[in-house]
Amino acid sequence: MADDAILAEGVRKVYGEKRALDGFDLTVPKGSVYGLLGPNGAGKTTAVRILSTLIRLDGGRAEVTGLDVATRPRQVRRRIGLAGQHAAVDEVLTGRQNLRMFGRLFHLGKKRAGERAEELLERFDLVEAADKGVKEYSGGMRRRLDLAASMILAPDVLFLDEPTTGLDPRGRNEVWQSVRSLVAQGTTVLLTTQYLDEADQLADRIAVIDHGRVIADGSPQSLKQLIGGDRIEVVVRDPADLPATAAVVARVASAEPQTDEAAARVHAPVTERVAALTEVARTLQDDGVAVEDIGLRRPTLDEVFLRLTGRPAEDEKKDEKKDEKKEGAKA
């Protein structure tokens, strides 16, 4: 437990008749990036809001940096940072003014707030844009400034809820690099995202949540192995050659080949990847089968996600907003 930044055991959260979390368990080691994935309404955002003390749990227990979120929320807040889906910075102010303002809001003295702003501008590569209005920033720059603001107190744990939604590839890469830099300096990150390639790029471990419970967790590679290893894929020019192609692939496959007639494609898992590819390519050439494409690929997190949940990863914000209103009414 001393090596865990976040611990949740049997956490429950109920909104009316809906169980947003129903026995949610999670253990996040210190100094790691942990991805929390789930389909629409699975409960991932509810989990982050409980762990960051924004809403109360209804059962179970949860700790952040060894502090109980239910009984010691103020102490927890002093040790965490939170960056939501939308940047919370003021567009009228410059980047430097934003960070100084956040410093004062966090009760840093004027001098220390200024010093901390300069440190963060340097860390997040925003020095050249420090005196520009935030309205002139790109999406990636705004997100980096938002991350910097969440780091004013150098938190032990940073919660990132959909940090790159709406960003272009360049902006996403900028944010990813910033996250890696934070972790290298000792911050633990809990990341929720609807982009599975983002979790694959950043997360040391991933938990898949569905119906308020964690249904699988492990490293990205171990999760991919749940649905098998490498796969061979063959796309033929003439769909009439699909049966013959499937028969050839079946000789090297570790499971029954699958045929996608619409895509004129045959694919199957294999164990001896290079030998399998070589044999299939040679045999199809000898048999006179015209091949448009042939290759090996590994399972993606998207495939793992679909296999585990039966649904694609989606943004659950709409459902959560309804639940927030109910929570506010209760409070």
- Using 50, 70 and 90 to split pLDDT, how confident is the model at 222? confident
Domains recognised in the chain with CATH numbers: 4-79+155-224+307-330 (3.40.50.300), 229-298 (3.30.70.980)
pLDDT at 67 over 80: yes
Q: What is the largest CA-CA distance in the chain?
A: 78
DSSP-derived secondary structure for 29-89: ETT-EEEEE--TTSSHHHHHHHHTTSS--SEEEEEETTEETTT-HHHHHTTEEEE-SS---
In angstroms, rounded to a whole number, what is the distance separating the alpha carbons of residues 189 and 146? 15
Query: What's this model's pTM, rounded to 2 decimal places?
Result: 0.76
pLDDT at 35: 94
Q: Residue 121 pLDDT > 60, yes or no? A: yes
Tallying the residues shown for the chain, one arrives at 331
Averaged confidence pLDDT in the chain: 88
**CB-based burial of residue 177 (10 Å sphere; 0-12 exposed, 13-18 middle, 19+ buried)?**
middle
* Nearest Cα residue to 283 out of 238, 235, 243, 251: 251
Cα 237 to Cα 74, 111, 143, 240, 264, distances in angstroms:
64, 70, 46, 9, 7
Strands of the sheet containing 157-161, edge to edge, are 80-83, 157-161, 188-192, 33-37, 205-210, 213-218
**Alpha helix locations (H) across 185-272?**
196-202, 220-224, 242-252
pLDDT in tens, 93-118: 999 999 999 999 988 999 999 999 99
Is a pLDDT exceeding 60 seen at residue 323?
A: no
